[in-house]
Amino acid sequence: MKSKVQFRLRIYRDESIAIGPGKIALLEAIAETGSISAAGRQLGMSYRRAWMLIDEMNRALTSPAVATATGGTHGGGSALTAVGEQIVRHYRAIESTARVAAASDIAALTRLLAP
């Protein structure tokens, strides 16, 4: 079995995860689909779970990461705010920087894993 090396950054606010890998994936899916429900489906989660993650994140921030429009004759939708876009950009930059900076240590740890 081949191991998969992952860097998992989580930023906490009090006891809850304000920003983490699942929430970043959800933000990216919302940006792609324009919808919390479609983003949830794409990630294999219920609308309720996706909404709860977004609500938890929005409450932890000074400004919301996602803006929603109520449905109507043309339907509603969701989009990332400027803050949401910044969060994704900074999170992915941290991952990239950490991956490069820690490459030799990650390789050393990986060599210690059983085949």
1 falls within a domain: no
In percent, the amount of the chain with pLDDT more than 90 equals 72
Q: Is 3 a domain residue?
A: no
Domain membership of residue 22 as a residue range? 11-111
pTM of the model: 0.86
Burial (CB count <10 Å: 0-12, 13-18, 19+), residue 41: middle
The answer to whether residues 83 and 102 touch, using CB atoms and an 8 Å cutoff, is no
Q: Where are the beta strands (DSSP E) in the chain?
A: 11-13, 16-19, 66-69, 77-80
CATH of the domain at 63: 1.10.10.10
Q: Answer whether residue 5 is part of any domain.
A: no
pLDDT in tens, 40-69: 999 999 999 999 999 999 999 999 999 988
Domain contains 36: yes
